[in-house]
Amino acid sequence: MTKKVLVIGATGTIGKAIIAELERDCDVIKVGGSSGDHTVDIASSDSIVELYNKFNDVDAVVCAAARGIVFAPLSEMTRDDYLQSMQSKQLGQIDLVVQGLKLLGKDVSFTLTTGLLNCDPIATGTAAAMVNGAVEGFACAAAIDMPAQQRINVVSPALLLEALEKYRNFFPGYPPVPAATVALAYRKSIMGHQTGQIIRVGW
Ligand X SMILES: NC(=O)c1ccc[n+]([C@@H]2O[C@H](COP(=O)([O-])OP(=O)(O)OC[C@H]3O[C@@H](n4cnc5c(N)ncnc54)[C@H](OP(=O)(O)O)[C@@H]3O)[C@@H](O)[C@H]2O)c1
Task: Return residues touching ligand X (CB under 6 A).
Answer: 8-15, 32-36, 40-43, 64-67, 88-89, 92, 113, 115, 157, 159-160, 163
Nearest alpha carbon to residue 15 among 104, 95, 113, 124: 113
Indicate the residue among 54 and 193 with the shorter CB distance to ligand X: 54
SS3 195: coil
Q: How far is the CB of 111 from ligand X (least distance, A)?
A: 12
Q: How far is the CB of 176 from ligand X (least distance, A)?
A: 8
Q: How far is the CB of 123 from ligand X (least distance, A)?
A: 17
Indicate the residue among 89 and 187 with the shorter CB distance to ligand X: 89
Nearest alpha carbon to residue 167 among 203, 93, 117: 117
Nearest to ligand X by Cβ — which residue? 12
Q: How far is the CB of 155 from ligand X (least distance, A)?
A: 8
**What's the rounded Cα separation, in Å, for the pair 32 and 34?**
6
**What's the rounded Cα separation, in Å, for the pair 45 and 199?**
27
- Residue type present at position 165: E
Indicate the residue among 106 and 175 with the shorter CB distance to ligand X: 175
Q: How far is the CB of 85 from ligand X (least distance, A)?
A: 11
Indicate the residue among 46 and 145 with the shorter CB distance to ligand X: 46
Indicate the residue among 147 and 173 with the shorter CB distance to ligand X: 173
**What's the rounded Cα separation, in Å, for the pair 199 and 139?**
12
Question: CA separation (Å) from 21 to 86, 99, 130?
Answer: 29, 26, 29
